[in-house]
Structure 1
Amino acid sequence: MTGRRKIGFVEGERILFPENRLSQQRKISYLNLFLILLFLFLFTWSAKATRFNPAAFTDPANLTGIGRFVSGLWPIEHSPEFLKNTGILLVETIEISVVGTVLAVVFAIPLTLGATRLRGEEFSRSSRGTLYWLGRWSVYYGSRFILNLCRGIPELLWALIFVVAVGLGPFPGVLALAAHSTGVLGKLYAEILESVDQRLVETGRATGASELAILLFVKIPASLPVLLSYTLFRWECNMRAATVLGFVGAGGIGTQLTISMQLFAYDEVSTLVLAILGLIFLVDIVGQVIRTRILDHSVRCNSDLLS
């Protein structure tokens, strides 16, 4: 008497029989249900802790204050002197974002080289346990720590620190954007370089190329369009951040916006907000056009450079 043969499903290198597959699906369903309930609990608890109350918008006193503020926004301030000053501050805001982004790229490049994890069997086999291997990982974790420190402190806090250090004006704004963006760009650059197709890297190592040659002729050409795209996107983010650094005295159009708010000059606030929105929309359009051109003209890795 022969037993009945079970029919299984191949999943990877395992064979799952129908009852085992059903049991695994139940476990996944229970896990998903638990995660959903956990999320709902955290949201409810957080909303209560933050006193989240949409009904506050319908409170008569709040509606009166909102109406007073909105009515003060019109007509906007359009005197030639104020418009000229607004234009000067917009140019200063652009200058802060450009210089801050360029400095961030300069500082991020060496940190990226240290924070990029060297992967692959050939590298691990040839260097594991050596003094170079120990030093390389020490540099890796040290660079990652610096990047996390720069990225973990927001721009406004950096601006406050540099205002105390070097005084008021656009210079602390430049330093604040450079410090924070160094951490952001350094991490992005490292992640992008690590995600390069490992087959290209191993092919380069098989030819006897050094790690520097692999970096220059494999990793960077293969990821250059993405690197440039993220750098440009970071400049757009810095442009937005530069508009609010003036709240703490770090230059830009935010300085005048703070003064106008404190003087309850809502007509000036309206002009400044419209100018900021126009600048951001313009930067978004320009950035999108440039990123599209960069990605359309991608640079491909030329393996002949390694031979």
Structure 2
Amino acid sequence: MNQPLPPRRSWTTPVLLVLLLGLVVASFATLRLDLAAFFTPEAAGTTLEFLGGFTPPETAAPFLMKTLNAALETLSMSALGTLLAVIAGLVLALPASGRWGGAARALVRVVLNVLRSIPELVWAALLLVAAGLGPFAGTLALAAHTAGVLGRLFADALENAEPAPEAALRINGAPALAAFFYATLPQTLPQMLSYTLYRWENNIRAAAVLGVVGAGGLGQMLKYHLSLFQMQSAATVVLAMLLLVALVDAISYALRRALTR
């Protein structure tokens, strides 16, 4: 009886690990990091003095109301930006998944690569010229970057879906669009919703930072008070950011748990 041949050993993973390790070592060797400077008594004293300026946080009622309005603006930016990104990402995912041919797939994936390779801050800086200061530019910046991310994830989910159910409907005379909505989309919808909620978590953090370039919300308040060295007011804004992120993370986690049951 012939003995089964042993599986062929692949050298791809060890080579990639060695290259990655070499890149990490080269990074530490070229950046000239002075880690010892963080642990000197002077550095500790300066840090404590800087952090002491943030206490106690500003708790005046008018300022808290202003912070609440900015937090709601940040939340609105993240939610609307994510919603626009879901719509654009789903539209781009259809050709990017190869459903319209190889040429359309390659072209749309290039578009998705461009959208997600540009960070939200850069998108906001570019869109501020066209849309002006305020949350509108920040919302569009979140939507542009997130559309590239979700479009790629949605396309991969559609490509990995089981094709047999849709093919069975098409053989029995169902239109292409109906077969997609009744066979392929239900398979990928839980995964798409999970991706969407995860990106919403990321966007609430990004929306809080976009105000640094004038896109509104908590980030704009933080930049304003830090530039005037109003550290106690800045501390209140930072606490509002932390609470808002924690709230959105909890909501997203609960929704994702409900989807996976």
Task: Name the TM-score, length of structure 1 as normaliser.
Answer: 0.78
- Equivalent position to 2:150, from 175, 181, 185: 185
Find the aligned partners of 1:179 and 1:68 in 2 and give their Cα distance.
40
- Equivalent position to 2:45, from 51, 61, 64: 64
Structure 1, gaps ≥5 residues long:
119-134, 297-307
2:227 aligned residue: 262
2:24 aligned residue: 43
- Kept after mapping to 2: 8 A contact 1:69/1:266: no
Find the aligned partners of 2:85 and 2:16 in 1 and give their Cα distance.
39
- Equivalent position to 1:271, from 232, 236, 241: 236
2:246 aligned residue: 281
SS state of the match for residue 55, structure 2?
coil
1:81 aligned residue: 62
1:146 aligns with 2:111: yes
- Kept after mapping to 1: 8 A contact 2:124/2:140: yes
Q: Deviations over 1:211-265 (max 9, x none)?
A: 3233111110111111112112211211111000001001110001111211222
Give the aligned residue type for 1:282: L
In the TM superposition, residue 81 of structure 1 has moved relative to its aligned partner by 1.5
The alignment of Structure 1 onto Structure 2 pairs a total of residues equal to: 261
1:110 aligns with 2:91: yes
Alignment of 1:282-301 (within 5 A): 282-296=247-261
Structure number, greater radius of gyration: 1
1:241 aligns with 2:222: no
Give the aligned residue type for 2:44: L
1:305 aligned residue: none
Find the aligned partners of 1:39 and 1:244 in 2 and give their Cα distance.
31
Give the aligned residue type for 2:38: F
Structure 2, gaps ≥5 residues long:
none
Q: Measured at CA, do residues 208 and 87 of structure 1 come closer, stay the same or move farther in structure 2, by a change above 3 Å?
A: same
Alignment of 1:17-32 (within 5 A): 32=14
CA RMSD for the aligned pairs? 2.2
Find the aligned partners of 1:266 and 1:190 in 2 and give their Cα distance.
45
In the TM superposition, residue 198 of structure 1 has moved relative to its aligned partner by 3.2
SS state of the match for residue 243, structure 1?
helix
Provide runs of 4+ in structure 1 moved above 4 Å. 34-37
In the TM superposition, residue 50 of structure 1 has moved relative to its aligned partner by 2.3
Q: Deviations over 1:141-188 (max 9, x none)?
A: 221121111111110000000112221111100110011111111111
Give the aligned residue type for 1:262: S
Find the aligned partners of 2:16 and 2:197 in 1 and give their Cα distance.
37
In the TM superposition, residue 112 of structure 1 has moved relative to its aligned partner by 1.3
